[in-house]
Amino acid sequence: MTKVLDKESRFPQDEERDECRYLLKDGLSGVLLEVAEGLTVGARKHPGATWRSIPTEEHLARAFRHILKYCDGDRMEDHLSHIVMRSLMAMACAREKSIRENHISDK
């Protein structure tokens, strides 16, 4: 979607067609690396992909806890990375559940 923007537009990225380039510049590759490192630490701490047994809603509740702590000024943990990680886990669990339910209902 291409938008014509005036000088007062708050979101100039709306006009960009290839947003994947953010991965290579503007710092997003470093952010993704931080998230990957956090997932690796979690996998070592909780081997066996135990996150898959946690319901989507619980992942979202845990992400929300990190949102609240970050908004409250707590910087003792990397809450922003935890929000992204829990959101990714919630998405994966919801997707797997949908696939299972659709597969079962197709039989």
pTM of this structure: 0.72
Rounded mean pLDDT, 14-43: 76
Report the alpha-carbon distance of residue 105 to residue 59 in Å, rounded: 25
Phi, psi dihedral angles at 10 (to 5 degrees): -85, -20
What would the pLDDT profile of 45-59 be if each residue is shown by its tens digit? 999 999 999 999 999
What would the pLDDT profile of 63-75 be if each residue is shown by its tens digit? 999 999 999 999 9
Say if residues 84 and 60 touch (Cβ distance below 8 Å): no
- Give 1's pLDDT tier (boundaries 50, 70, 90): very low
